[in-house]
Structure 1
């Protein structure tokens, strides 16, 4: 005998999944910032947050990336159940975070102490590739979810700003303005994902 889930149960599951979208951004940002201002030798104006994966405490940022990525994937499933569109690219972003967590970013620019940053490892390349693909997915999600969540202009602006901030970081050659611009982009999309998840959470009957 097959037991069908009731609409109420389906809605509870969807809301639970969307709840992870509310938590994913704040978790990643909070853990990253806490380390950025407490880890010896780490300079938020010179080092990207991914570099926190290096050193004796690197496992903290690795865990942060993987857990946050899993939350984003769960949120993507919730988005699929709630509105359908935008879920796949959002899920790609989550998977990108997980892969970036599994493959450590390269050290450099003096962090950890003594790192020159003149070599690129295979795992560093995988990390960068996964992050790049994930970032593209997140930007696409910003555009696809713009109308369904009722934030058409804001969502598109966040998507454009995030892509621009990533390009700025790469074009800056590690200059403070590039790193800080990308940090602002991460903060913006993290807040956007939380806002989208809250809106969809409330829209589920």
Structure 2
């Protein structure tokens, strides 16, 4: 039981650690504007290894969380879909760390605003999009689980997180495509989306931790 709770705790700390790391990096990186540039761009340049490590650590913690969900007495989302989707999100974070994104919106300084696609950048986007999609679907899988358990408030919160996550990701994607009205706010919109997604995962992890304590003999 102790190892199970450690695995679930990994899901609770993954989001806050990831967020604190990229906030610290963004505040100290020369030429980087957190309101304009994406989190992934922190992996570019001389100190880019710090954000690469951030992706890898967050992904590893998320995979540990998915394993804990699988072993939990009442796995959220059923015996397969909840842990599987969270596992895909974790793998997406690791893939985003292994493959660096392409420069966008003028960072690093001297690079063009519009994306110039490379193989590494395409792989980064593919892993990121797969992870985002899995996390979005997970929100609605949990919505169904909470409804079946009779918890309408939790179900509504989970569904709202999924919808808000989609909307914010769409807006940030439009900003990074150089939409004139949004481009200067792309980083802020993406950070809001990531905060919603990671905050939702932290909430679910804490909920499962409480469940395992209740079930413990």
Give the corresponding residue for 1:27: 17
Give the corresponding residue for 1:171: 174
3-state DSSP of counterpart to 2:143: coil
Offset from partner CA, 1:100-140 (integer Å, 9 cap, x none): 10000112322222112452111001000110011000011
3-state DSSP of counterpart to 1:146: helix
Are 1:161 and 2:178 counterparts?
no
Residues 147/202 of structure 1: CA separation in 2 closer, same or farther (3 Å cut)? farther
User: How high is the TM-score relative to the length of structure 2?
Assistant: 0.85
105-114 vs 53-62, which deviates more? 105-114
137-146 vs 18-27, which deviates more? 137-146
Partners of 1:146 and 1:194 lie apart in 2 by 15
Give the corresponding residue for 1:46: 36
8 Å contact kept, 1:41–1:113: yes
> CA RMSD for the aligned pairs?
1.5
3-state DSSP of counterpart to 2:28: coil
8 Å contact kept, 1:68–1:97: yes
Give the corresponding residue for 2:142: 145
Give the corresponding residue for 2:207: 199
Offset from partner CA, 1:168-193 (integer Å, 9 cap, x none): 11223341344322211111111111
Partners of 1:164 and 1:178 lie apart in 2 by 13
Partners of 2:187 and 2:50 lie apart in 1 by 21
Partners of 1:57 and 1:170 lie apart in 2 by 25
Aligned counterparts, 1:174-189, within 5 A? 174=178, 175-189=183-197
Partners of 1:131 and 1:152 lie apart in 2 by 26
Residue 108 of structure 1 is aligned with which of 104, 108, 119? 104
Offset from partner CA, 1:147-178 (integer Å, 9 cap, x none): 54652111111111111111111223341344
Are 1:72 and 2:80 counterparts?
no
8 Å contact kept, 1:165–1:178: no
Structure 1 runs (4+) greater than 6 angstroms displaced:
none
Structure 2 unaligned segments of length 5 or more: list them: none
Structure 1 unaligned segments of length 5 or more: list them: 1-10
3-state DSSP of counterpart to 1:134: helix
Residue 36 of structure 1: CA displacement? 1.0
